[in-house]
Structure 1
């Protein structure tokens, strides 16, 4: 059957039928002939999803009573739905008021502006550190009276281990900012807090001349291999920016139109600690502090004198860019931070062990979940819709729930720090402004899990995971959410729209492209 016709059948089958709200609390087995069940069956078994593994569960949020289930106990790759786990457990273990601390400290005697020892820059993983924050720390060093450091500038990133990339991450994603390296000393180029990356700006010159390439923040830590040119006015931009694997050589190719806007692309760096050290050393020089020794790495001595410190925003605030924009690096930093808090070891192993144990307290069998990271980038993560629904239900009983709930993307809300990865979805439907849910996207994987209130005021939780898809499952996720949001007793049928052709599976979250 042609795909367009199969989706037309889904469109015809999915309608807002008059289903009494009380029926939502009955077991799925009692709903065999119920219109809601038939409609959800039609969506999840659409011929357009043939060959894919699709699991969906819907539960009453107040009672946990089962509303609908289809293969919901089958595990699959959750993609960024894994962030539901990392964010909730981080809130519970670290607390909403947790702040990351970055310090600069000195060892050795300090006389007449000369520090005879070393200067230590120590991080605890703060993903919100900007170049301006390191500049402010450098100013504090100068304000303390230090003009010359006879020793070294020592970068202390030992709060975390030295493992920079997660298990099961794709090597070909490594140059891109959503797959950055994890370090306890890191820097972000923007207030989305894309830790471990820089922005490469490609500006036009005169037509036929080379394009001008700069970085944000400015740094010579990377080498720009620029072959980009300026095209004719009105020509299409074809700029590509890609860091060569295992290096800090960034190749800039293509063309940018004369008189047009500069192109901007985000790129990871190889070894974020080195970038931070380079930026901080430059900042010290701007503030008149000369470091005579080289640059090294090591642990800050217990007796070092703190000359300045920077505290991040609380976790409750960081949760907004983290969850709305599905920031992978925030998730992984929190995993390692949890590990450090629970067992004194800032590693994925320690953090995931603590997070999995916390799931057990919320009714999820730890032995039935496989977590290899906190973001869902790993192809080795395995979670079922039932397990995510159990988390969604348990979270409602926690004191931090309102903070967590507010951090979830809101369907159809145009503000990117409200709608997040759902800002362009489900507009003009009963789900708009109603559904709060976490998205998830990898090639062949899609997920949507969260909260929705029916038109009758019945609160529901739902979790849908699709694996092995050849096309985007997002129109079907939207159809499920819209169908649930529009349910009302005595309401006349109202068709749920499914795109006439599913969008291609681009393999990344909307926010990861920075342009959608």
Structure 2
């Protein structure tokens, strides 16, 4: 090897690594070098960097190439939701009836009506039952109807992968759902397994919230190997536990359910029974609430400007899909993904952006049919910065290097001890062969930049690609012309 030929690249590499003794090199040249990393051999990478104030392009590489964005699509969904629904929008879950009161009896049907809230928890359904009890209701003579018609019956997004089906991030979408935790992983249950100290004994299993809606096939045992896992059989709620869990250890896994509306039915009936309220009629799934029904109790979510924090920090898919369908319901009276996508396109048009430059089929980015360029993402970032709701949205983005899970989010372990720490506000995205990072960063001269980097079709694992993303962020934070 001829050393002289490679010396400039070695110097660039040392400079990017943070060595102050090397002469400064222009940031565009550094970026060119970074995008030539072997991790991208045979892959496609797109990067665009712009001045946040003027919109001037500072760097571009394949900037107009549409690529699968993964969870960077949530930038578009949440920005549109802040515009279409408004920062103060709240989801609602209601108990209604068409019948009159006869002492402790409710003479007609009772309806539990969901308007898409992905944050409602079992405790909230218990509180609704308690509201009924506080009004003196002890018996429902009619049917108990679970109304999830605010959204359509399409439970999964377009072309979602089959092997994601039982995961928390691939959970089914319903207007009437339940989350097992404050991360709002709607449509899932937490399955906790504890391994006895004695090797070869079955693990002890509990489900939260407690329900008999799922069935357990427990073949998992206490033992070496640590290959314990859970799968849910397609089309059922049979959870299959297999493998070995180290003696004395505990595992918590989030598993999606088949048909979350029916899980809600199971839990709400539990909540009514806890309050001593008896239902004489049938359980009816999917019936619509008559317009003449009277509201007896109601639960409201936090406002959207607060909900986008867990959504963006933790990259919550189900919340994103609920927002998409809620936008469709508001703009076209149709709780469908297609109507939501049309609402997002309307938002883009109002901002002077071109919706025909991208393909969107869901709200979360879980589908590989979504296609967005880094230029479109930077257009969105520039437009969002002009909105009255921008400060709340900007704060909700993951912040590099901050260890607080609800501040640093998916960037909490990245870029610590660099000029990007507590500086970079950006959304991550990750799927097999896909990585993305788009957001805002301030350079050494106090100039705010917007950038988007999307990589597709690499064959390595994500670590080398994320390492390059980190180096790009560091180079932007130390921009030199």
Counterpart for residue 514 of structure 1: none
Equivalent-residue separation in structure 2 for 1:293 and 1:437 (angstroms): 51
Pair 1:313 & 2:302 matched: yes
Equivalent-residue separation in structure 2 for 1:11 and 1:188 (angstroms): 46
Equivalent-residue separation in structure 2 for 1:269 and 1:347 (angstroms): 21
The alignment yields a C-alpha RMSD, in angstroms, of 2.0
Report how far residue 87 of structure 1 moved. 0.4
Provide Cα deviations, 1:386-439, integer angstroms capped at 9, x if missing partner.
000000001111000000000100111111101111011111111111101000
Equivalent-residue separation in structure 2 for 1:194 and 1:135 (angstroms): 19
Counterpart for residue 487 of structure 1: 479
Equivalent-residue separation in structure 2 for 1:394 and 1:275 (angstroms): 40
Counterpart for residue 289 of structure 1: 277
Pair 1:122 & 2:124 matched: no
Pair 1:271 & 2:254 matched: no
Counterpart for residue 37 of structure 1: 28
Counterpart for residue 303 of structure 1: 292
Contact kept in structure 1, 2:325 and 2:340, CA below 8 Å: yes
Equivalent-residue separation in structure 2 for 1:9 and 1:279 (angstroms): 63
Report how far residue 10 of structure 1 moved. 6.7
Equivalent-residue separation in structure 2 for 1:356 and 1:328 (angstroms): 20
Report how far residue 488 of structure 1 moved. 5.9
Report how far residue 377 of structure 1 moved. 0.5
Equivalent-residue separation in structure 2 for 1:455 and 1:143 (angstroms): 60
Provide Cα deviations, 1:7-63, integer angstroms capped at 9, x if missing partner.
978724647799xxxxxxxxxxxxxx9721110000112223111111100000010
Q: 1:136 aligns with which of 118, 127, 136?
A: 127
Report how far residue 193 of structure 1 moved. 0.4
Equivalent-residue separation in structure 1 for 2:174 and 2:244 (angstroms): 34
Q: Which structure 2 residues correspond to residues 340-351 of structure 1 after superposition, within 5 A?
A: 340-351=329-340
Contact kept in structure 1, 2:26 and 2:479, CA below 8 Å: no
Counterpart for residue 13 of structure 2: 11
Equivalent-residue separation in structure 1 for 2:313 and 2:188 (angstroms): 19
Q: Which structure 2 residues correspond to residues 40-51 of structure 1 after superposition, within 5 A?
A: 40-51=31-42
Counterpart for residue 95 of structure 1: 86
Contact kept in structure 2, 1:131 and 1:187, CA below 8 Å: yes
Report how far residue 105 of structure 1 moved. 1.1
Report how far residue 71 of structure 1 moved. 0.7
Q: 2:57 aligns with which of 62, 66, 69?
A: 66
Report how far residue 210 of structure 1 moved. 1.6
Q: 1:373 aligns with which of 338, 346, 362?
A: 362
Pair 1:158 & 2:149 matched: yes
Q: 1:216 aligns with which of 200, 208, 213?
A: 208
Q: 2:402 aligns with which of 413, 416, 424?
A: 413
Contact kept in structure 2, 1:58 and 1:462, CA below 8 Å: yes
Aligned residues: 468
Contact kept in structure 1, 2:26 and 2:480, CA below 8 Å: no
Flag structure 2 segments of 5+ consecutive residues without an equivalent: none
Report how far residue 236 of structure 1 moved. 5.4
Report how far residue 156 of structure 1 moved. 0.5
Q: 2:102 aligns with which of 111, 134, 141?
A: 111
Pair 1:330 & 2:319 matched: yes
Equivalent-residue separation in structure 1 for 2:423 and 2:138 (angstroms): 57
Contact kept in structure 2, 1:181 and 1:268, CA below 8 Å: yes
Q: 1:202 aligns with which of 178, 181, 193?
A: 193
CA shift in 2, pair 1:47/1:228, >3 Å: closer
Counterpart for residue 503 of structure 1: none
Equivalent-residue separation in structure 1 for 2:57 and 2:445 (angstroms): 17
Contact kept in structure 2, 1:15 and 1:483, CA below 8 Å: no
Counterpart for residue 181 of structure 1: 172
Q: Secondary structure at the match of 2:438?
A: strand
Flag structure 1 segments of 5+ consecutive residues without an equivalent: 19-32, 490-516
Contact kept in structure 2, 1:456 and 1:488, CA below 8 Å: no
Q: Secondary structure at the match of 2:407?
A: coil
